[in-house]
């Protein structure tokens, strides 16, 4: 599989919380940091996401906002 997105971060699923429509997926990446993603429940099921499964977080964005206090 090849993607145009440059931000492809390898990790493993540490938690999947299914909802009625969407599922929250928590991925642990190198250094113990976590990335949280909300995807459709159908997508989570079709990917067979489960704790311990290796996955990639693919981040594609045309803008990133930065804020300060």
pLDDT at site 35: 94
Q: Which DSSP string corresponds to 1-33?
A: ---S-SEEEEEEEEEEEE-SSEEEEEEEEGGG-
Count of residues making up the chain: 69
pLDDT at site 66: 77
pLDDT surpasses 90 at 31: yes
Delineate the domains of the chain, giving CATH numbers in brackets.
7-59 (2.40.50.100)
Predicted structure pTM score: 0.85
């Amino acid at each position: 599989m090849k993607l145009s997105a440059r931000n492809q971060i390898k990790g493993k699923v540490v938690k999947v919380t299914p909802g009625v429509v969407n599922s929250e997926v928590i991925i642990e990446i190198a250094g113990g940091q976590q990335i949280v993603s909300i995807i459709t429940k159908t997508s989570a099921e079709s990917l067979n996401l489960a704790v311990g499964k290796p996955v990639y977080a693919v981040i594609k964005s045309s803008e990133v906002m930065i804020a300060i206090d």
